[in-house]
A and B are shown apart, each in its own frame.
Chain A
């Protein structure tokens, strides 16, 4: 399959990319790793007239802690995330997710910025971003903007990014003492999109009481979903097996899966229940280490 005709443009700086997008207008799309967009173009699900290649822009690929924040550059590839020592040591939730995302060759191209900016609830990173309460930094014709993750996902393939905006950085509150996160997704086969997935990030005080919790769900709603009811329920409590059972029940009730090739609605609700339990337990175990 060959994509429909388009014109390729290479941007070497952020300013050049944004200017090109302003010039070319609505029919231009940015491409970073290209492993979501190009398959869609080959299938004619997407037929942009112009592609602006942002993969060669320097300085947007990094993982670092800076003051109270973990900062990840938008062009950081999934492979770079997989092999990063800081993430392996302090943010193991990323390793959980990247290991299950596509396959190693795809991860060599795919970027974290693209995974989020694509706005697909089937992608893995959005659930992590919800659980970790990320802030998305974007730059566009109106300058720089900070978008809280809860305001980022608008609908199927729709996000708060406007024409010309490039997702440049992800900011996440730095890992605190007694905090832990975990992610898992059920997949039909290696490299598949999630049948359902659950990301959990939990913070405890010295007495073991949950002070903050984030729960994000993958591919069980049109928009990447936060389990608000479960978070509010656990916050301020010492987490017990009985409470975990209740939150898992809430997750299976509140998610909005549709029956499709990956399973029936009932099956997906059941998976969400089980995975919520497992990920809460795994995150707790890591928080207590």
Chain B
């Protein structure tokens, strides 16, 4: 079995490990690094529960080899709150009751970070298309959309210079 030494930055910290060719990134994150905020749902790149950011782009980590992430900058749900303060998306999901069981929530939030980066002021339709690769089996989409709308607004205000 081929082993590879990989080094990547995860949530700002450098991690080096020896991994098999076939180790999937979601397993590396959950089992080797013990960060279980990234979930495994369908395991077939349909549901988005395992969504993380690789170099700023949302990726389904169940369909990504760990060796391919050598040298990458990775962000998981554990890495987005700054010094104990919720990320605006985390806070918005809390405020708007954007979750029922919560299983899809980390993936929804990681996907939304990428979406809002590319489109800071999305329409409702753009939000619904934007999270089309993330499934909520509780079907709580209305409040998820409201959460993303709230966060979009706040993140834009943060960016605008105060008078």
Contact = CB atoms under 8 A, between A and B. Distances in A.
Interface of A: 1-8, 10, 34-35, 38-39, 42, 51, 53, 55, 79, 83, 99, 102-106, 108-109, 190-191
A10 B21 CA distance: 11
B111 A6 contact: no
Contacts of A99: 129
A47 to B, nearest CB: 11
Given A8-B2, A103-B48, A108 B22 contact: no
A125 to B, nearest CB: 18
Interface string B40-73: 0001111010010000011110011101101000
Contacts of A42: 43-44, 63
B22 A104 contact: no
A2 B45 contact: no
A7 B67 CA distance: 11
B68 A4 contact: no
B63 A5 contact: no
Contact of B22 (A5, A109, A191): A5
Given A2-B27, A102-B133, A103-B132, A108 B63 contact: no
Given A104-B58, A105-B59, A2 B22 contact: yes
B100 to A, nearest CB: 20
Select the residue from A6, A34, A102, A109 with max chain B CB neighbours within 10 A. A109
Nearest to A107: B133
Name the prevailing secondary structure of the A interface residues.
Answer: mixed
B2 A35 contact: no
A191 B2 contact: no
Given A105-B60, A108-B58, A38 B133 contact: no
Nearest to A41: B22
A191 B4 contact: no
Contacts of B130: 104
B5 interface: no
**7 tightest Cβ-Cβ pairs between the two chains A and B:** A103-B133, A8-B21, A7-B2, A190-B132, A108-B57, A105-B58, A3-B22
A140 B97 CA distance: 54
29 contacts: A2-B23, A2-B24, A5-B1, A6-B21, A7-B2, A7-B21, A8-B2, A8-B4, A10-B70, A34-B68, A39-B63, A42-B43, A51-B21, A53-B67, A55-B68, A79-B57, A83-B118, A102-B133, A103-B48, A103-B133, A104-B111, A104-B132, A105-B60, A105-B111, A105-B133, A106-B45, A106-B63, A109-B59, A190-B129
Contacts of B21: 5-8, 51
Given A2-B24, A8-B2, A104-B115, A34 B65 contact: yes
